[in-house]
Chains A and B, each alone.
Chain A
Amino acid sequence: MNPFRQYLELLSLSIRMSRSMIWFISMVNVAFAVGLVVGFGYVIPDISRTTALFLVTGTATQMIVTVALVALPTSIAEAKRDGRLEFLFTLPISREAYLLAQMTFVFLLSLPAIVFAVGLGAWKYGFALELSPWVLVAVPLATLSLAGLGVLIAVLSPHFQLTNAITQLAIFYVLFFAPVIFPREQLPAFLQHVGDFLPASHAADAIRATMTDLPGTHLLRSLLVMAAFAAGSLGLASAAARRRG
């Protein structure tokens, strides 16, 4: 069986393993996205078009962050804790196929929330999106670059609780201390510099560049940085998954 067929079989198995929960998890993701789009609107009473665009595209990025840095590593850490991961790794399957299948699965779970958040935001704040075809590259690449980090955390972390703690911290940091939901200029200089090295910042930049006409985005640079992050983190995660103790 070639790795692509293994990937499809593993993706199918993941879907079957979640089955009736898929609808529920997707709805929770949608509710989370709605909470961010609508809730931040209450925090900022007179929301400008620019702020609204940041908020809505940032929420789409935040959904990817949540899925890639929380749902994905948690699911892999659970598989590790339950012995399922080790069992699957005794099968003649490519470890990369397994990791990619997990990434695809959690991405599919977050897709309705991303679409819904953007649509709801555009309607609520009364702006039109400027969708570029590059969005079809930016969103999967954003997912891949962040998911690579998520997988790396899950594979390297020795304990489920540690994975949980790291991922919770990551989502909290990205929400409040990275230029995702609000402009870079609102952060202190130090955090602006840190943000330059975070894939989440570049994911947000690329998504803004492909969905809005906001100035100050750097699509090509963001795509390249995300591609580098995806290659690096997936390479490391794959090596860690192949490691024999």
Chain B
Amino acid sequence: MNALTVRDLSKRYRGGTLANDRISLSVALGEVYALLGPNGAGKTTLVRQVLGLLKPTSGAIAVHGVDVVANPGFARRNVGFLPQGQFHMEMARIGEVIHSMARLRGLPTAEAKRRAEAVIARLDLEEFRKTPHFTASGGVKRLCGLASAIVGGQKVLVLDEPTNDVDPVRRQLLWGLLAELRADGAAILLVTHNLAEAERVIDRFAIIDRGQILREGTPASMRSLVTEMLRLELTPGFGFMPHPCLMPDQPNPGAYLFELASLTTVSAWLEEASTGGRVLDFRIGPPSLDDIYTAAVATPAPPLKAAS
């Protein structure tokens, strides 16, 4: 059963900007659905409508089958949310914030305390329990936000950039936690730019730009869209100049994409450049999800759905 369903959702702001244009997607229980797109693509507008903060111009949103456009209170009771920005809780301590959020989510005092303790332990926040929120690092604040989003035990979670500012060790914890939540049956709508790491938990993803879904599918099906491309990573040496066949993979320095048909040409060029010291080492492999995303956003294309 779909825990979250969005159908033909459009949102036009008063100024005339069409932020969402007939978007449809669904997230099932036990599924992680990622939403990718450049800044201003319409992701936040979509999220705010799901949470009942914005009223759609047209279309429908249902959480557990309930129309939350007509009943936004149902979304507030049933959706855990991590906002993209930090919510400043000033001098409240990290442990207090998480406990308060559990209480405000409606849990009885003892249950709120039990769940807050469990989440603090799971996210390795024990040493920061008494740290005032405003003195905590960005990463700890982010984890506090994530803890606040999941502490109520809601089965639908909307997480906007959960890994922002989080150190590599805790990012592993975080992805592990999301995998556990998915295994426990949570439906997770994940907004992220950290595709390389998110790939391990993503079941399906959509690439959104200019308010429309450009591509949607599983990571495997999305990869099949770019089978004609290869990815080259290299370490440049003195006098390095990229071959004209290579397309820089922004913003990753030293990473390039090229067409499969150019493999012979690129291989010959790499051999010559390696011998001349202009390329110190290199690796050729399949394109990453980041590459798929970059290609989809860079190439104007009609909305297309890949097979799931």
Q: List chain A positions with a Cβ less than 8 A from chain B.
A: 1, 6, 9-10, 12-13, 16-21, 82-84, 86-93, 244-245
20 A–B contacts from the bound complex (CB under 8 Å): A1-B103, A1-B104, A16-B92, A17-B133, A82-B86, A83-B83, A83-B88, A84-B87, A86-B83, A87-B87, A89-B53, A89-B76, A90-B79, A92-B106, A93-B76, A93-B104, A244-B54, A244-B72, A245-B13, A245-B55
- CB neighbours (8 Å) of B14 from chain A are 245
- CB neighbours (8 Å) of B132 from chain A are 19
B110 → chain A, closest Cβ, in Å?
A: 14
- CB neighbours (8 Å) of B117 from chain A are none
Question: Known: A13-B100, A87-B83, A244-B55. Is A20-B105 also a contact (CB below 8 A)?
Answer: no
The answer to the question of B91 belonging to the interface, with a C-beta cut-off of 8 Å to chain A, is yes
- CB neighbours (8 Å) of A16 from chain B are 91-93, 96, 100
- CB neighbours (8 Å) of A19 from chain B are 90-92, 132
Are the CB atoms of A245 and B100 closer together than 8 Å? no
Ranked 6 nearest A-B pairs via Cβ: A19-B91, A17-B90, A244-B55, A87-B87, A16-B92, A92-B77
The answer to the question of B81 belonging to the interface, with a C-beta cut-off of 8 Å to chain A, is yes
Q: In the docked arrangement, what's the CA distance between A13 and B99, Å?
A: 10
Given contacts A16-B92, A92-B104, A93-B104, 9 further A-B contacts (CB under 8 A): A9-B100, A12-B100, A19-B92, A83-B83, A83-B86, A86-B83, A91-B105, A244-B54, A245-B53
Are the CB atoms of B73 and A90 closer together than 8 Å? no
Are the CB atoms of A6 and B104 closer together than 8 Å? yes
- CB neighbours (8 Å) of B106 from chain A are 1, 92
The answer to the question of B38 belonging to the interface, with a C-beta cut-off of 8 Å to chain A, is no
**Residue of B at shortest CB range from A244?**
B55
**Residue of B at shortest CB range from A243?**
B55
Are the CB atoms of A83 and B55 closer together than 8 Å? no
The answer to the question of B245 belonging to the interface, with a C-beta cut-off of 8 Å to chain A, is no
Q: Mark B97-134, 1 if CB is under 8 A from A, else 0.
A: 10011011110000000000000000000000000110
Are the CB atoms of A20 and B76 closer together than 8 Å? no
> Which of A18, A87, A245 lies in contact with B90, CB distance below 8 A?
A18
Are the CB atoms of A20 and B91 closer together than 8 Å? yes
Question: Known: A16-B92, A17-B91, A87-B83. Is A9-B104 also a contact (CB below 8 A)?
Answer: yes
Q: In the docked arrangement, what's the CA distance between A6 and B54, Å?
A: 23
> Which of A12, A21, A82, A92 lies in contact with B76, CB distance below 8 A?
A92
B158 → chain A, closest Cβ, in Å?
A: 9
Q: List chain B positions with a Cβ less than 8 A from chain A.
A: 13-14, 51-55, 72-73, 76-77, 79, 81, 83, 85-93, 96-97, 100-101, 103-106, 132-133
- CB neighbours (8 Å) of B96 from chain A are 13, 16
Are the CB atoms of A17 and B92 closer together than 8 Å? yes
A192 → chain B, closest Cβ, in Å?
A: 41
> Which of B13, B52, B55, B92 lies in contact with A13, CB distance below 8 A?
B92
> Which of A12, A18, A84, A245 lies in contact with B54, CB distance below 8 A?
A245
Q: In the docked arrangement, what's the CA distance between A245 and B56, Å?
A: 9
**Residue of B at shortest CB range from A91?**
B104
- CB neighbours (8 Å) of A82 from chain B are 85-88
A132 → chain B, closest Cβ, in Å?
A: 38
Q: In the docked arrangement, what's the CA distance between A24 and B115, Å?
A: 34
- CB neighbours (8 Å) of A244 from chain B are 52-55, 72
B144 → chain A, closest Cβ, in Å?
A: 12
Q: In the docked arrangement, what's the CA distance between A205 and B53, Å?
A: 41
Q: In the docked arrangement, what's the CA distance between A10 and B101, Å?
A: 10
- CB neighbours (8 Å) of B55 from chain A are 244-245
Q: In the docked arrangement, what's the CA distance between A126 and B108, Å?
A: 53
**Residue of A at shortest CB range from B50?**
A90
Q: In the docked arrangement, what's the CA distance between A93 and B90, Å?
A: 20
> Which of A6, A83, A90 lies in contact with B51, CB distance below 8 A?
A90
Q: In the docked arrangement, what's the CA distance between A99 and B92, Å?
A: 19
- CB neighbours (8 Å) of B53 from chain A are 86, 89-90, 244-245
Are the CB atoms of A10 and B104 closer together than 8 Å? yes
**Residue of A at shortest CB range from B11?**
A245
**Residue of A at shortest CB range from B77?**
A92
Q: In the docked arrangement, what's the CA distance between A89 and B72, Å?
A: 11
A220 → chain B, closest Cβ, in Å?
A: 39
A54 → chain B, closest Cβ, in Å?
A: 38
Q: In the docked arrangement, what's the CA distance between A91 and B77, Å?
A: 7
Are the CB atoms of B87 and A83 closer together than 8 Å? yes
B244 → chain A, closest Cβ, in Å?
A: 46
- CB neighbours (8 Å) of B103 from chain A are 1, 9
Q: In the docked arrangement, what's the CA distance between A19 and B90, Å?
A: 9
Q: In the docked arrangement, what's the CA distance between A10 and B87, Å?
A: 15
Most chain B Cβ neighbours within 10 Å, of A12, A20, A21, A90: A90
Q: In the docked arrangement, what's the CA distance between A83 and B14, Å?
A: 21
- CB neighbours (8 Å) of B72 from chain A are 244
- CB neighbours (8 Å) of A89 from chain B are 53, 76
